[in-house]
Structure 1
Amino acid sequence: MFKGLPLLFMLQLFSLTAHAENWPAEQWSTGATLSGPTIQALETYAFPPRDDASRKGIRTDALLVIRDGQLIYERYAGPTTADTPHLTWSISKSLMAAVLGVAYDEGLFRLQDPALKFYPPLEKHPAITMADLLHWASGLDWQEDYEYAPLKSSVVAMLYTRGHHDMAAFTTDHAEYAQPGQAFRYSSGDSNLLAAALKNIVGPAQYRDYPWTALFEPLGIRHAVWETDATGTFVASSYAYLTARDLARVGLLMARDGRWGDRQLLPKDWVAFNRQPFDRYRAHQDEAVPGGHWWLNRAADGAAQPWPDAPADTFAALGHWGQAMYVIPSEHLVIVRYGDDRDGSYRHNELLKRARMAFAGKVQP
């Protein structure tokens, strides 16, 4: 079909028809510097005068936006800089899901495998599957209360007192309140059972380095820190630290269905599982819908989308005190927000609405 066409014209035609994508190398490529009233409106919300004395109000540590694989916005506050590995809190859970996705692709486990197969202390709860743990549906009577109710909190006891030495064993000792797989109850303990299972899934010899060799290094993440408990098990619930730029690489991976450059790092069916609502979830007002260790902006159980000013395909990794990574595949956006919000005043929908006005040029009706 190209017979007789000049070579230069053929090259130009090829460049127009080929699908070009931006992928970060050692550093992110950057787009045009943006400014204007929509950026100002976003910053007015995300970066109000910072009250570090009382720790009240919205206190954003980092806000970073990737569009079409390019870094187009970045701002830091407080002690955080572009080089700071920030505590992600429960974003760690979604990171563990990504690490497990690599092991799943290697054929080392299946979603319906009993978790007991990989973590023998779960013989007390033999019906729990890997999928149940990923849905926070183990059926264990876990209390995910924080500093406002520390005396009855399972997670406070696990992280700081009687459970901190061996967090998976502490979780296993909880009684069941429901049959596994039948009900959603958010549980940092479920996430740490997954971390303990991973140790036997990949083998103790590989386990210590596995998040790096499986996920971080292929993505070009150089400065990740992931703490373990005294047994050497990663604290998948809480204690991964990444820079905002590095966390955005995970977001881009998920936005592109597990593909990184020419490599399918996570299988597409694994990403689809992460983004599929747990079918036994019962909706709560303004609460994101649980997927496979990610959070979804989906209507569920008769309730509307929790973030009405963002598209329905938006999904997120979320953490305590305002940590968030939002992925909007339909608009080619990844938004990383680190914070230190202690009073619950931050609102996901408000930031998403303003960010879409600034970077996607629209807000969904």
Structure 2
Amino acid sequence: MKSITLFSLLLLLISSCSKDDTVVQPTPSESMYFPSNTNSIWETKSISSLNWNQSAIQPLKDYLIQKNTKSFVILVNGRIGMEEYFNGHTSSLEWEWNSAGKTLVGTTIGIAQQENLLSINNKASDYLGTEWTSMPLEKENLITVKHLLTMTSGNDDTKQYVIKPNLTYVADAGTRWAYSNIFQKLTDVLASASNKPFEIYFNEKIKTKIGMDGFWNNGLIFKIYHSNTRSMARFGLLALNKGKWNNEQVINESFFNESIATSQNINPSYGYFWWLNGKPSYMIPGQQTVYQGNLVPNAPVDMYAAMGANDQRIYVVPSKKMVVIRMGDASDPANPNFAVSGFDNELWEKINAVIN
């Protein structure tokens, strides 16, 4: 009796694996998509194919309009799931990145290091010459390129214009985190190290490689990048893929991973110009206060973001293979911000209603 039972079980197993009754295997995960650098074609995904909540789309759009948004894009696996333009803005119009463009500068510095043109551990004065600040020389010599990347140079952050008289000593480099426009000196570091104007080097190493449009202009305080929304999305897609575009590693992955990790022990939510979610505390521009908790509680904990004044945003979420772009005027004109604000948390509440 036992042998008959075993034989019957064997027949059942063989039958279940026959060609007429094949076990359905899980669908392989969708491949990452990169838009062409030579035409305007960009693959899209429908709301239904993404299993998003259709009823939450209009409340998200209403919120974006209410908050003075000009453009909004969500990419999933590189494909456009949502692309909206408001208040007369269009896909061809360019807009300012403000401090979100700092991540472009940091990435360009990383490329120069991988080409052995510089080392971020070297003194900034190796590239800028001595007495590029108004600090005592022994304090100036403490400042490395990495300190400029991490907002820990120790200069007076209350003075916005990056001119020598304003670059004065407050603390030893590496001992104080303070959001400051001194980062702009990195463009001079790059120009000195590469023997090319910063813009030329950037265009060669990033802009052309990933098919961006746009330009740098010399703003009142520092260089500001302007581009259309899809170009901002292209850089976000590069960031999602840890510096890889199609089959080319544009920026060394190890450097990029450094960029999106805590860069110093003072503000754990700051990398190399990238803002990091999911850390135990954070600081914000213009203050020395340490706030407890995640940078953006409603956003995924693995999110990293490029943030610029008036709520220019690139949110990158590896766990969802997602990039979110927001460009526009300040969400709250009465209280403009330089980086993270309450807007981020409110926006992610609306996004979550769509994607979850």
* Alignment TM class, shorter chain as reference: 0.7 to 0.9
**Residues 29 and 140 of structure 1: CA distance in aligned 2, closer, same or farther (over 3 Å):** same
Q: Deviations over 1:185-215 (max 9, x none)?
A: 0001x221111111111113x5441111110
For 1:337, the equivalent position in structure 2 comes to 326
State which drifts further: 117-126 or 102-111: 117-126
Alignment of 1:193-272 (within 5 A): 193-204=185-196, 207-221=198-212, 223-228=213-218, 237-272=222-257
Q: CA deviation at 1:172?
A: 6.5
Specify which of 167, 177, 180 is matched with residue 174 of structure 1: 167
Name the counterpart of 1:45: 63
1:247-269 Cα deviation digits (max 9, x unpaired)? 11111111111111111111111
1:78 positional shift: 2.3
Match of 1:30 in 2: 44
Separation in structure 1 between the aligned mates of residue 153 and residue 211 of structure 2, nearest angstrom: 34
- 3-state SS in 1 of match to 2:120: coil
**Aligned residue in 1 for 2:280:** 300
CA RMSD of the aligned region, Å?
2.4
For 2:239 and 2:319, locate their aligned partners in 1 and report how far apart those are by CA, in whole Å. 12
| Offset, 1:278 | 3.0
Residue 18 of structure 1 deviates from its aligned partner by 9.1
Residue among 296, 300, 306 paired with 1:317 = 306
Would the aligned equivalents of 2:95 and 2:228 in 1 still touch at CA under 8 Å?
yes
TM-score normalised by L of structure 1: 0.77
Match of residue 101, structure 1, among 99, 110, 115? 110
Tell me the secondary structure at the aligned position of residue 279 of structure 2.
coil
Q: Does 1:351 align with 2:333?
A: no
Which piece of structure 1 moves more, 18-27 or 323-332? 18-27
Deviation at 1:183, TM superposition (A): 1.2
Provide the C-alpha distance between the structure 1 equivalents of 2:219 and 2:327, rounded to a whole number of angstroms: 24
Q: Compare CA radii of gyration and give the structure with the larger one.
A: 2
Q: Supply the distance in 1 between the matched residues of 2:225 and 2:208 (Cα, whole angstroms).
A: 15
Aligned residue pairs: how many?
302
| Contact 2:30-2:77 within 8 A present in 1 as well | no
Structure 2: 5+ residue stretches without partners = 1-26, 282-290, 337-341
**Partners of 1:282 and 1:17 in 2: CA distance:** 39
The answer as to whether partners of 2:199 and 2:216 remain within 8 angstroms in 1 is no
* Partner in structure 2 of residue 185 of structure 1: 178
Render the CA deviation track for 1:139-181: whole Å, top value 9, x for unaligned. 00121xxxxxxxxxx22xx2xxxxxxxx4xx057421111001
- Deviation digits for residues 290-336 of structure 1 (CA, Å, limit 9, x no counterpart): 11111111323582112111122101111111111111111011111
Mean CA deviation greater in 325-334 or 119-128: 119-128
Secondary structure (helix, strand or coil) at the match of 1:325 reads: strand
User: Which of 302, 307, 316 is 1:327 aligned to?
Assistant: 316
Change (3 A) 1:239 1:99: same
Cα 1:202–1:79 shift into 2, 3 Å: farther
How far apart in 2 are the matches of 1:275 and 1:172? 32
Q: Deviations over 1:232-254 (max 9, x none)?
A: xxx7x551101110011111111
CA contact (8 A) 1:140 1:178 kept: yes
* 2:86 maps to which of 73, 77, 81: 77
How far the C-alpha of 1:47 sits from its partner, in A, is 1.4
Amino acid in structure 2 at the alignment position of 1:122? W
- Contact 1:253-1:259 at 8 Å conserved across structures: yes
